[in-house]
Every structure is written in structure tokens, then in C-alpha cells.
Amino acid sequence: MSSEIRNLRFSQLTVLLHWVTVLLFIAVYCSMEFRDIFERGTTGRELMKTTHYWFGLSILLLLLPRLLARFRQHTPAIEPPQPHWQHKLAIWVHLALYVLMLLMPLIGWLLLSAEGKELSYLGLQLPALMAPNEVWAERFEELHELGAKAGYALIAVHALAALFHHYVLKDNTVKRMMLK
């Protein structure tokens, strides 16, 4: 493949990590939204909560490789070029998404620690990040719920912007992030 064509898309690794992260976000949100179909204390509800933790921690685990893959390459140009304000807005939305991918799993981990709950990931017992504390548990729960709502908004803005670029502006924004 010529370098000109390669420069029109992100690397396969960056694209793969992007779409795996998208699937993990879907799983994180679905596991929490659907937990309420199960009664408290049931196996189904506990399974939904556990999968939520695992998917959230997976997003955190993939964040560093994702950032390394993303920033070790030249960003493919959007053709035709976008206005400066759109470029700046895209940078801020992406930054906010990266912050979400970092902070939400950490706040969730802090929440579980403050509640005195053990957390394991892929068979490894993770250390508590703090001693049990009811007051902090409530604060972290509120913060985690607020972050989840912000996440819905950020994801919607990101997805709607991609659709706008693809269907209205008809530029290559979406094509840059597609698997070859």
C-alpha cells in the first residue's frame, strides 16, 4: 500500500483499539442499564455488576496502549479540510473522552474500595485504593454517576459529529477510522 493511501487512515492498531474500546463502552453502559431487570441480591444482578467492573477496567487497561498507538503516528488529514473551530472542538472532545476513560474506572475502583468490596480482574485480586469509608463511598458514587451522564453526552457528541462529517460534509473523517 502506498504511503499516500496509508496517510489517509489511522494505523490498523489504532483503529482496532478504537473499535474494541467502543464495544467495551457499550458493554459498560449496557451492564449497568440492564442490571435493574434483576432483583437485588440475585445472581443475574451480581453478574451485571461484575461485568461492568471488568469492562470498565478493560477500558482503563487499554488506555495506555491506545494512547501510545494513537500518538506515535501522524494524524491523517481530513479531506476536504475542516474549519479551525471544528478541529479545536474535536481536540477538546477527544481529550474529554480520554479523561473519561482514565477517571471513570479509577473512580469506580475507589468507590468499591470505599464500600469495602473486593475487586478482582482476570483472576487477580486488585488492591483497595483506600480504606472503607461510607462518606467517601457516597461521594464517589455520585461522582461516578455524574461521570456516566457526562460520558453519555460525550459519546453522543462524538458519534453525531462522525455521522455529520460522513453524511453531511462527506469528508473522510469516518473512513480514517475504518478497518482496511
HEC profile of 97-124? HHHHHHHHHHHHHHHHHHCCCCEEECCE
Predicted confidence (pLDDT) per residue in 44-55, tens digit: 999 999 999 999
pTM of the model: 0.91
Predicted confidence (pLDDT) per residue in 115-133, tens digit: 999 999 999 999 999 999 9
Segments of the chain with pLDDT less than 50:
1-3, 5
pLDDT at residue number 7? 73
Spell out the residues 6+ positions from residue 81 whose beta carbon is closer than 8 angstroms to its own: none
Of the candidate CATH numbers 1.20.950, 1.10.10, 1.10.150, 1.10.760, the domain formed by 3-177 belongs to 1.20.950
Joined together, the cell numbers standing for residue 169 give 460534509
125 three-state secondary structure: strand
